[in-house]
């Protein structure tokens, strides 16, 4: 199996699992991954998803070059559409996604991590968009998301050179939130995920929706959307419970409705 879905309610782990190819993503893996993301999106018991790679060498070493080498332009377009659909499904999922980058995140692997809401890295993480070294531009969103995550001049340098960036540089340029020893990475990702999952589930979903909407539609539209979501929260029991718990000096019990 090329992608493993592990449920640890309220968390889920999606593990890219093709270690003999450094978790390189072929059409089959992408389809399995897309199906798993959609399955989780429909599951209200899952509040946060962690995306990581199997083995200790790679998150994902990119799109499968062996599969791509002989593609026609039409097949390349379909492959880009599928990879982009996976990244879009992560962005549009109701749950926050944490990329736990445990090794190489190259090309399509880096693009998957960029689509996640939060990136954590192990000391062994290596990021790059090496597509230009293979004679192609990025195809799963790297040219669009990298300049939205790190400053555009730095994104340009990385995209035009294909240069690799280690974990500490990734931290310095804001590509990742934190760097941990490899053996701690998953547990730290789980800790962060549990911290998110302890909050009001509707509130977290609405917040992700607002952040994503504003990044794509600009400040004015984003503010209008945020007010609507804010008002919507006042139709929920979680709003009453969260505020009453504060006033009564106790921990809230959120029911997600």
Pick one of 47, 52, 90, 104: the residue that binds ligand CAA (CB under 6 A): 104
Q: Does 21 bind ligand CAA (CB under 6 A)?
A: yes
131 is known as an active-site residue: yes
62 touching ligand CAA, by CB under 6 A: yes
- The stretch among 116-124, 129-137, 199-207, 233-241 that binds ligand CAA (CB under 6 A) is 129-137
Q: How far is CA 49 from the centre of its chain?
A: 8
157 tagged catalytic? no
The yes or no reply on residue 85 touching ligand CAA (CB under 6 A) is no
Determine, following the binding rule CB under 6 A, whether residue 138 of this chain makes contact with ligand CAA.
yes
Over 109-136, what HEC string results? HHHHHHHCCEEEEECCCEEECHHHHHCC
Distance CA 72, CA 198 (A): 48
Is the Cβ of residue 164 or residue 188 nearer to ligand CAA in the bound state?
164
Total residue length of the chain: 257
Taking the alpha carbons at both ends of the chain, their separation in whole angstroms is 36
Burial degree of 74 (CB within 10 A; 0-12, 13-18, 19+): exposed
Instruction: Return the structure tokens found at 37.
Output: 């993301």
Q: Which is nearer to ligand CAA, 127 or 180 (CB)?
A: 127
Q: Does 174 bind ligand CAA (CB under 6 A)?
A: no
**Which sequence positions are flagged as catalytic?**
111, 131
Residues that bind ligand CAA (CB under 6 A): 21-22, 24, 61-66, 83, 104, 106-108, 111, 130-131, 134, 138-140, 142
């Amino acid at each position: 199996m090329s992608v493993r879905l592990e449920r640890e309610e309220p968390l889920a782990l999606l593990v890219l699992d093709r270690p003999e190819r450094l978790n390189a993503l072929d059409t089959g893996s992408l389809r399995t991954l897309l199906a798993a993301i959609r399955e989780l999106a429909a599951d209200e018991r899952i509040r946060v998803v962690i995306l990581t790679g199997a083995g200790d060498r790679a998150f994902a070493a990119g799109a499968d070059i062996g599969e791509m080498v002989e593609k026609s332009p039409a097949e390349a377009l379909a492959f880009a559409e599928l990879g982009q659909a996976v990244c879009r499904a992560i962005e549009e999922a109701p749950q926050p996604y944490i990329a736990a980058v445990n090794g190489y995140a190259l090309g399509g692997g880096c693009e998957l991590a960029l689509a996640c809401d939060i990136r954590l890295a192990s000391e062994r993480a290596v990021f790059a968009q090496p597509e230009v070294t293979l004679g192609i531009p990025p195809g799963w969103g790297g040219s669009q998301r990298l300049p939205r995550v790190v400053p555009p001049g730095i994104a340009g340098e990385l995209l035009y050179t294909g240069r690799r960036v280690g974990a500490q540089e990734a931290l310095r340029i804001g590509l990742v939130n934190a760097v941990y020893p490899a053996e701690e990475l998953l547990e730290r990702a789980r800790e962060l995920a549990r911290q998110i999952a302890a909050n009001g589930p509707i509130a977290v979903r609405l917040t992700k929706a607002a952040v994503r909407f504003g990044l794509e539609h600009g400040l004015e539209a984003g503010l209008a959307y945020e007010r609507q979501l804010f008002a919507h929260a006042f139709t929920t029991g979680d709003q009453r419970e969260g505020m009453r718990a504060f006033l009564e000096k106790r921990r809230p019990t959120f029911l997600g409705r």
